[in-house]
Amino acid sequence: MKFQVLDIIPHLKNPLTGGIVSTADRLNQVVQTARRAEELGYDSFSVGERHAGEFISSSPTTVLAAIAAVTRRIRLQSGVTVLSVLDPVRVAEDYDTIDQLSRGRLELVIGKGNEVLQYPLFGLDLADQWDLLAEKYSLLRRLWREEGVTWSGRFRAPLAETTTTPRPFAGAPRVWHGSATTLTSAGLAAQWGDPLFTANAIQPRENYKVLIDHYREEYEFHGHDPRHQYLGSGSGAGGVFLADTTQEAKRQFGPVYEALTANRNVPGNNSPFRDIDHAVAEGPALVGSPEQVIDKILSYHGLYGHDLQSISLPTTLPFGQQLEILERFALEVIPAVRAAAPTSLWEPADPFGGRPKSAGATEPDAASAVSADHDDHRSDHAHVYAH
């Protein structure tokens, strides 16, 4: 299995202490977390997109570009790019710029978003959300694969002989489809032969299994190669939390989790898992001892068969504590899960396992590499902002 760290950049007070970091500090924490995740061997780092609520992720491209500038190996993903409210031309330009800056490390996760207030903000009708997504994705695919695109559709002005720049680093980046509540995104992913990313956040896992089964059936119906039918999975609202025992993890993190899920303005507001015991016993929350968390991931893998596991840190906790959780998860959880659940994702058998280098591309010069390595070590304990 591969592992992703996702930050949708909620900007919240600690529900117990009332403490909150500044906007600048919170955004810099995202970049620092990505650098540390790369050092610890995580496979990808994902930045969410929200345009309403208590989030500061309205410009994920800016944050991903900052991460691209200070990392060299980790894959960069979005989680999700709310393509339904965006212009595909702008999406192609912005994300191709990140693809070039990162030398081909970009993969997109697209969706219609789960915040209804985004649609009137952009002058769009919520009733059109699925049609918007389908049309815009069809255009984005052409813009990434063709030059001189001539196109017309329902939701934007026609294009004539249009070539977006910059071009992708080495062919069109892979696109995943985020799926949370309906069969539509799963069906769209299957139609195009793309991988699916199930939210696995606030519903019972049987609900997500319905979407996954639909994806697999439709994927086969459309005749795509089953070897490339990859699946990603989230891990619930609230964030991962590890302690020596599950009881200790629940004792420490339970009050924070329960306060967050009780607040209807923050992630997890619709979760049926209102108390920590319920969340740990029956929900996807990765809270407990390392052994408990390993068992839970493998239990979900037995049901879903997923290739990529996403985790999120509990971002209302002090930043130093978040980094400790990130490290402990990397050292005590990931190796056991990797051994028990191998995957070909991002391996040689995967068409995107090692995207070929762009013609004329060069590696960063030695001086830059040394400087980056020095900065990495220097920043290990920097920017530790307590709430």
Tens digit of pLDDT for each residue in 73-89? 999 999 999 999 999 99
pLDDT at 359 over 90: no
Contact 297, 281 (CB under 8 A): no
Q: Which residue has the higher pLDDT, 1 or 201?
A: 1
For residues 130-157, b (16+ Cβ closer than 10 Å) or e, as one string?
eebbbbbbebbbbbbeeeebebeeeeee
pLDDT of 368 higher than 60: no
- Range with the poorest average pLDDT among 54-68, 175-189, 354-368: 354-368
Q: State phi, psi for 165 to the nearest 5 degrees.
A: -135, 150
Q: Which residues contact 341 (CB under 8 A, 6 or more apart)?
A: 1, 297, 298, 301
Q: pLDDT band for position 266 (50/70/90)?
A: very low
How are beta strands 287-288 and 241-242 bridged, if at all?
Answer: parallel
Of residues 258 and 387, which shows the higher confidence score? 258
Predicted confidence (pLDDT) per residue in 87-122, tens digit: 999 999 999 999 999 999 999 999 998 888 899 999
Average pLDDT over residues 249-270: 76
Per-residue pLDDT for 309 more than 60?
Answer: yes
Which of the residue ranges 37-51, 169-183, 331-345, 370-384 would you say has the lowest mean pLDDT?
Answer: 370-384
Q: Which residue has the higher pLDDT, 125 or 274?
A: 125
Q: Residues 209-230: what's their mean pLDDT?
A: 96
**8-state DSSP, 45:** E
Q: What is the pLDDT of residue 227?
A: 87
pLDDT the model gives residue 355: 67
pLDDT over 90 for what percent of the chain? 80
Strand partners, 310: 4
Q: What are the C-alpha distances in Å from 343 to residues 104, 230, 307?
A: 21, 9, 6
Q: Quick check: 370 pLDDT over 60? A: no
Domains and CATH numbers, the chain: 2-244+305-378 (3.20.20.30)
Written as six digits, the tokens of 51 are: 């345009």
* 268 pLDDT above the threshold of 60: no
